[in-house]
Structure 1
Amino acid sequence: MKLRAMAKINLGLDVVKKREDGYHEVRMIMQTIHMYDQIELHKSDIVGIHIKTNLPYLPTGENNLVYRAAKLLMDEYHITKGLDINLVKFIPVAAGLGGGSSDAAAVLVGVNRMFGLGLSQKQLEDKGAKIGADVPYCILRGTALAEGIGEVLTPLCLMPPCYILVAKPGINVSTRYVYKNLDLEKVKNHPDIDGMITAISKGSLTGVTSRMSNVLENVTAGEYPIIHEIETKMIELGALSAMMSGSGPSVFGIFEDEKKAQRAYRKLKHTSLVRQIFLTKPFGRRGK
C-alpha cells in the first residue's frame, strides 16, 4: 500500500495559555500543502514492525512516530502479522512543517485500511492525539482551525488559490525548546484568528495574508535572526506576506502571482539564506 504524508503550514498561530499539565492551549489556522513524504506498507510473516528510511540518521524504533502509530493500532487490535514500512522523506526534518506527525497520520490511515479495522476518521483522529498534537489535523488535512493542544479541529472553507514558497535555513529547531522559552506575558501582538477565518470564508487572499502572525517567532526568530531575513527577502521579491511555520525554522511566503513566485524561488535558491526551498500550492481535503 502506497501513501502520501502531506506537509502543513500554520497561517496563524496563537498560544492562549499554558496549562497546569505543561501543555499549551493554542488557536491555529492550519493548511495542508502539496509537499509530501512517501510511505509504503507491506504485510510480513516476520513478527514486528520494521522500518526502512532514506535518511540514515532517523530512528527506526519507538522514537519514530511512524513506529508508534503502527504499534498503537496493532497492539490494540491484536494484529499478529508483521509490518514492513518504507519511509521516503522529502519534507524537511525538524522544520515546523509537520513531517513526522503527517507520517504517523498516514500510517494510522494505512494500517486501518490494510487490516480492515473499520475505524472512522474521527476515531483515527482521537487515536492520533495519543501520538502527537498535530497528528489529528494531519489525518483531517485541508484548511482548519485547531484548538486545545491542537487536537480540537474545525474544518474551514478551502484557502484561496495562491502559490506558496517554503524555505528552510540550515538550522534545526526543537519544538519543546521553543514552547519552554515562550513567555506569554511578553507577547504584545496576537494573531487575528477570527478575522482570518472570515477572510478565508470570503475567499480573500489579502484578508488572509494581512493577518498572518505566529507568536512562536518571539522565541525562534529571536534566537535565529535569519528567519526574519528570509521573510524580508520574500516580501522584497513579491510575497504578499511571509511568516515562520509552526515552531520553525521554515519560512513560507504567499504569492498571488505565479511568475513572481517562480522568480523568488530562483533568487532565494542561490543565496546562503536557505538550505532547502520548495514552490508549491495549498492542498484541499479532496485533493484540490
Structure 2
Amino acid sequence: MLTIKAYAKINLALDVRHKRSDGYHEVAMIMQAVSLADTIALTSQPAGIDLSVNTPGLAADANNLAYRAATLLKEYSKTGQGVLIHLEKQIPLAAGLAGGSADAAAVLKGLNQLWELNLSLDELSKLAAKLGSDVPFCLYNGTMLATGRGEILAPLPPLPACYVILAKPAVEVPTAWVYGQFKANEVSVRPDIAAMCECLTEENLAGVADHLGNVLESVTIPVYPEIAKIKKYMMEYGAMAALMSGSGPTVFGLSDCGAQAERIAEQLKARGVPEVFVAKTVSKVE
C-alpha cells in the first residue's frame, strides 16, 4: 500500500481574459499550494479500479476525478494492474481549493510509483491536463504562474513561509457557473501579476499581501455576500490580507504569526463560519 497527500491550492492572483475557441477562458494566475490536504491510500490488486471515500455524497465512481485519473493512467500505460483507492477528504467540496484536482494529481503520482511506470512529471502533466485545468499544478505544488487555461506552468520563487487561514461559508459555488457569468469587459481592476512576481522574487510577504487580487470576486460576491463578510472579519481580526480563492466561496487570509492565525480562525468559528482551517504554505514538490 502507498499513502500520498493531495494538497489544496489558493490563488494569490487570478486574472481572466478572453474566452477561447475551445470554450475555456484564457487566464493568468499565481497559484500556491497549502498544507490542508486529502489523504489517498493506494493498494495493489490484480485487476480493476475500485474507489472508496469517507465523505457522504461524494461520488465513488467515474464521476470522481481520482477514479478518472486512475482509469486514464491505466489506459495510457496499458498496464494490467489494478488498484483499490481509498480517499480521506479534508479539503472542503466545491470550495475553490482544487480538492478534486489535487486528488487526481495524487493518484497519478502515486500510481506511477505503485505500478512502477517510471513516467516523468512532465509526462504525467500532459495526462493531468486532460482531467482538468488545475490538475497539472497539483502535480508540482509550490508557487507557480499558470497561463493558458491554467495548464501552462512556470515555477516562481516560493511564497515566504506563512500561515493561511481558510474559511468556507455554508454554500457551494459551481466553477462553470462563475466562468459562465464572468464578463471581462466589465472588470475595471485586475491583479498586477508582474508586481506579484517581483514581490515573490524579493521574498516580500507584505508586498504579496498588498497585491492579492481575483477578478472572479466580481461574479461570486454579489450573489454570495457572506464571502465579503468573511473577508471583512479576517481583516478586522488582523490578517495581512484576505481574498476569495478560485471561483469561491472559500476565503483565505495570510498571517506571519501562527498564534495570530489560530486566533483569527477561532474568531471566525465564533462568527458561525462552518469550516475553518489554519494551514501553512507548501513550497516544494512533495
Residues 121/286 of structure 1: CA separation in 2 closer, same or farther (3 Å cut): closer
Q: In the alignment, what sits opposite 1:140? A: 140
TM alignment of 1:1-288, pairs within 5 A = 1-45=2-46, 47-272=47-272, 274-286=273-285
Change (3 A) 1:48 1:215: same
What is the CA–CA distance in structure 2 between the aligned matches of 1:260 and 1:5, rounded to whole Å? 26
1:184-208 per-position Cα deviation (integer Å, ceiling 9, x unaligned): 1111111001100000010101110
* C-alpha separation in 1, matches of 2:55 and 2:257: 35
Q: Distance in 1 between matches of 2:81 and 2:152?
A: 33
What secondary structure sits across from 1:129 in the alignment?
helix
The answer to whether the Cα contact below 8 Å between 2:140 and 2:285 also exists between their aligned partners in 1 is no
Aligned pairs, how many?
285
Query: 2-side partners of 1:98 and 1:208: how far apart?
Result: 21
Q: Secondary structure at the match of 1:130?
A: helix
Q: Secondary structure at the match of 1:42?
A: strand
Q: Normalization by structure 1: what TM-score? A: 0.97
Q: Distance in 2 between matches of 1:221 and 1:2?
A: 37
Question: Partners of 2:257 and 2:66 in 1: how far apart?
Answer: 37
CA–CA distance in 2 between the matches of 1:173 and 1:244?
12
Q: Give the aligned residue type for 1:275.
A: P
- The secondary structure found in structure 2 opposite 1:51 is strand
Identity value in percent: 45
Question: Deviation of residue 101 (structure 1)?
Answer: 0.1
TM-score by length of 2: 0.98
Q: What is the RMSD computed on CA atoms of the aligned residues?
A: 1.0
When structure 1 is superposed on structure 2, of 172-181 and 55-64 the one drifting more is 55-64
Q: Give the residue type in structure 2 aligned to 1:250.
A: T
Distance in 1 separating the partners of 2:224 and 2:182: 15
Change (3 A) 1:76 1:259: closer
What's the CA shift for 1:286? 4.8
In structure 2, do the counterparts of structure 1 residues 257 and 82 end up closer, same or farther at CA, with 3 Å as the change threshold?
Answer: closer
Per-residue CA deviations over 1:35-64 (Å, capped at 9, x if unaligned) read 11000111113x321000001211111111
Secondary structure in 2 aligned to 1:63? coil
Query: Structure 1 regions of 5+ residues with no counterpart?
Result: none
State the distance in 1 between where 2:35 and 2:57 align.
25
Deviation at 1:138, TM superposition (A): 0.1
1:17 maps to amino acid: H
In 2, Cα distance between equivalents of 1:18 and 1:125: 23
